[in-house]
Amino acid sequence: MIFITRKETFSAAHKLSRTDWSEEKNKEVFGKCANPNWHGHNYDLKVTVKGEVNPDTGFVANLSVIGQILKSKIIDKIDHKNINLDVDFMKGKLPSTEVLAIEIWNQIETEINALGCKLHCVKIQETEKNYVEYFGK
Amino acid sequence: MIFITRKETFSAAHKLSRTDWSEEKNKEVFGKCANPNWHGHNYDLKVTVKGEVNPDTGFVANLSVIGQILKSKIIDKIDHKNINLDVDFMKGKLPSTEVLAIEIWNQIETEINALGCKLHCVKIQETEKNYVEYFGK
Amino acid sequence: MIFITRKETFSAAHKLSRTDWSEEKNKEVFGKCANPNWHGHNYDLKVTVKGEVNPDTGFVANLSVIGQILKSKIIDKIDHKNINLDVDFMKGKLPSTEVLAIEIWNQIETEINALGCKLHCVKIQETEKNYVEYFGK
Amino acid sequence: MIFITRKETFSAAHKLSRTDWSEEKNKEVFGKCANPNWHGHNYDLKVTVKGEVNPDTGFVANLSVIGQILKSKIIDKIDHKNINLDVDFMKGKLPSTEVLAIEIWNQIETEINALGCKLHCVKIQETEKNYVEYFGK
Amino acid sequence: MIFITRKETFSAAHKLSRTDWSEEKNKEVFGKCANPNWHGHNYDLKVTVKGEVNPDTGFVANLSVIGQILKSKIIDKIDHKNINLDVDFMKGKLPSTEVLAIEIWNQIETEINALGCKLHCVKIQETEKNYVEYFGK
Amino acid sequence: MIFITRKETFSAAHKLSRTDWSEEKNKEVFGKCANPNWHGHNYDLKVTVKGEVNPDTGFVANLSVIGQILKSKIIDKIDHKNINLDVDFMKGKLPSTEVLAIEIWNQIETEINALGCKLHCVKIQETEKNYVEYFGK
């Protein structure tokens, strides 16, 4: 068993804010992340996959292929977009980094596992100070 | 003459888009940066100041004081904000990294130079791949 | 179960040296880290917490609150200080990175867990080449 | 139980290519990594070791000693070399990052464990976007 | 006048070695960089351009366009290649970082300046410890 | 004319404090950097040299040789040391980053220039947020 990781990046806007809460309540809970006119980040996305080494190729899986899956399933939908408004798989969800990691897992799990390996971790770094890791249910 | 630099960071939303241009024209010129619903970045701001070393302190200027000026004049106004909508000194201006660097220079020049040194460079890194440097007129 | 991490930084002096050993013995065991007049580092502190996502907030815990705990319990006591001489929770202990990680865990565990999540890892990076991770007993 | 990590770096050439496959097949499977005239990388090698803290030293193991083992067993053999042609422990093996991680583990396990700790992970970062982790059989 | 910079990366093999010198002489002058079977690096390429801000766009030049020039003129020719053997603009030249920076400048100057700005600097980082900057003749 | 840069690192303790000032005055001027029991940093030292490319070698100067000069003249004297107490060329001087940059310049200028190039810049990064550059008188 060996673990391989692919990093991709995207830049997006979001805000943490519930429509069923007042602006004051949102500000109290989410602080400056509740700014009504949005803010944004450069996000690092790291996807880790585990499996056996294929003796023919020396690969668990081809990291370029994993990069292409991430591009078509995630990056093309979220890069230079508004996570609250523009991203289909985040519609109606709170765009915290935690929820984003879970939803990215859900978007890619089937296609990753079809490569003959197993999705192990989705890690999202939102700022230099904050990151989140999800290992599935 | 010696040069000292302070780095601060902020996260903000913006879009590159002119209201007097059609959405098609904006998309043609600004590409994915024209996304109508905004996108965002983690920005690094580096401010370089030059001057003589004060023999009493060994400092050109106290970098903590420069950090406080950046905080009150720039970071408090732009961090977790929308550059197009929320930032007074960017009102009515195109929020390209170039224009942002010039306007940040204009916001801080007087107060920096009042420390007995001279503002030398404002550098803004927008993504890992792109940055801008302004040295004044 | 999801994992969230907060990074903080501090700069401190220390030396690795036992008073019950001769200077030669200390130098033999601890090498240049035993320099009698101290040396120092910029340390990165990463604290990882695990828990369920709160459906109201999308958070496991508010990373700003974790940052405040780290600030009051650790950073305010150790930043720009001497780890051997100035830090109450390191008194009488060898200030190796291993011991520091364990003692930081002990300082913050109760307050972190009171947030409704569980402290998972304390990671300290001492130099670009060396780091330590502690996951509790 | 605590985990300590040492980072070393090396620069090397390699290609991914099987002599029992045609150039077309190699290109199809390995893409640009199959370039016949080689290519190369700056590699980061991180070795993680676990153990109990020695109460006399505050160390799991001396990270300088681990650095020396890595230097003599790995870095001196692979730095500024061709992984396919020059490195004894990679002779006849596909120089994928996965295989390299496993073979580095095999080279150092005995000597690391003789320090009274246990080898836990060999991590190799090949590019900014790709890395591999091996935790043993 | 404002300065904008684009970063691209490539991975390549090379060796420093003159065919009109003996292997001993090459080793004496170029050290481990003379390894006959090549070695390689991940290179960072930063290209800085200067000009006036276009009032219609807020840009000196579109950094994506500069990225495309770098891709077609440099990256596509050198990434995952052997600098000594595979790269047309380096044929017959010593592939030191200094010479590489000058030859990259020569490859891109006309096309960059045709954008209405002026090529200012080509910076190549070969390892974490070594980089080179060329500002033209 | 081309510019080449070598990075080295060191870890050291220091404090900013004048013996002819009271502890209160030192604290007022130097803030937390005046902590009587010292503090410390991991410093990055970057030395830039300029010159013509030697057509025989493709080098302005051999960066390994510059690294050796930095090691013998600077790193061996300051790494894992106390800048105020242990470093001969800082005796009696305020160990601000500015003064340190000037004194490092003075230590290495003759030997660097004897390589047939010219010392251009000494840059010291003290923390992620603060750095200093000195270009000579």
Using DSSP, state whether B51 is helix, strand or coil: strand
When pLDDT is averaged across residues A72-99 and rounded to a whole number, the result is 98
Percent of chain D with pLDDT over 90: 100
F80 annotated active-site: yes
CB contacts of B130 in chain E (<8 Å) are 4-7, 63
**Rama region for B40: left / alpha / beta (φ>0; ψ in -120 to 50; rest):** beta
pLDDT at B115: 97
Q: What is the mean pLDDT of each run of 10 residues along chain B (137 residues)?
A: 98 97 97 98 98 97 98 98 98 97 98 98 98 97
- Over range C21-39, report the average pLDDT: 97
Q: Which domain holds residue D123?
A: 2-134
Average pLDDT, chain F: 98
pLDDT tens digits, one per residue of A41-83: 999 999 999 999 999 999 999 999 999 999 999 999 999 999 9
> Domains in chain D: how many in total?
1
> How far is the CA of F103 from the CAs of A110, E119, F18, F87, in angstroms?
60, 35, 18, 11
The reply to whether C135 touches chain D by the CB within 8 Å rule is yes
Known catalytic residue at B80: yes
Q: Are B2 and F134 an interchain contact pair (Cβ–Cβ within 8 Å)?
A: yes
Decide if F133 contacts B51 (C-beta within 8 A): no
Residue among E67, D10, A75, E61 at smallest CA distance from B128: E67
> Once rounded to an integer, what is the mean pLDDT over residues C17-46?
97
Q: Which of B38, B81, B84, B125 to mutate to test the interface with A (most CBs of A within 10 A)?
A: B38
| Mean pLDDT, residues E100-112 taken together | 98
> How far away is chain A from the Cα of D56, in angstroms, using its nearest Cα?
34
Q: Which two tokens stand for residue C46?
A: 């990463």
Cα separation, D118 vs D61, whole angstroms = 10
* CATH number of the domain within which A127 lies: 3.30.479.10
**Residue E82 touches partner D, C-beta closer than 8 Å:** yes
- List per-residue pLDDT tens for chain D, 137 residues long: 999 999 999 999 999 999 999 999 999 999 999 999 999 999 999 999 999 999 999 999 999 999 999 999 999 999 999 999 999 999 999 999 999 999 999 999 999 999 999 999 999 999 999 999 999 99
User: Which residue stretches of chain D are H helix?
Assistant: 23-30, 63-70, 76-78, 83-86, 97-113
Q: C-alpha dihedral over A90, A94, A100, A105, to 10 degrees?
A: -70
Residue with tokens 């080279």: D107
pLDDT band at E84 (very low <50, low <70, confident <90, very high): very high
ipTM: 0.96
How large is the average pLDDT for residues C34-60? 98
Q: What percent of chain A has pLDDT over 90?
A: 100
Nearest-by-CA chain F residue for B44: F129
Confidence (pLDDT) at D87: 98
Most F CBs within 10 Å, among C10, C15, C37, to test the F interface: C37
Out of B33, B109, B120, B133, the active site residue is: B33
Helix (H, G, I), strand (E, B) or coil at D21: coil
CB contact under 8 A, D67 and C99: no
Q: What pLDDT score does E119 carry? A: 98
Tell me which residue has tokens 């305020």. Answer: F94
Mean pLDDT value across residues F76-81: 98
Q: Chains touching chain D at 3 or more Cβ pairs under 8 angstroms? A: A, C, E
Mean pLDDT across E61-90: 98
For the whole prediction, is pTM greater than 0.90? yes
Q: Which pLDDT score is estimated for F35?
A: 98
Give pLDDT tens digits for E28-75: 999 999 999 999 999 999 999 999 999 999 999 999 999 999 999 999
pLDDT at A42: 98
CB–CB of A50/A2 below 8 Å? yes
- Give A-chain residues touching C51 at CB under 8 angstroms: none
**Are E45 and E123 contacting, i.e. CB atoms less than 8 angstroms apart?**
yes
CA–CA distance from D107 to each of D69, D70, D78, D90, D123 (Å)? 10, 9, 12, 10, 14
Q: Which of E61, E59, E69 is nearest to E110 (CA)?
A: E69
The values of phi and psi at residue F19, to 5°, are: -70, -20
Hey, what are F121's tokens?
Answer: 């810049």
Give the chain A residue nearest C49 (alpha carbons).
Answer: A132
User: Nearest-CA neighbor of A77 among A119, A112, A107, A44?
Assistant: A107
Is A126 annotated as catalytic?
Answer: yes
F48 vs B contacts (CB less than 8 Å): none
- Measured between beta carbons, the chain B residues lying within 8 angstroms of A127 are 9, 11, 42
- Cα F133 from chain centroid? 10
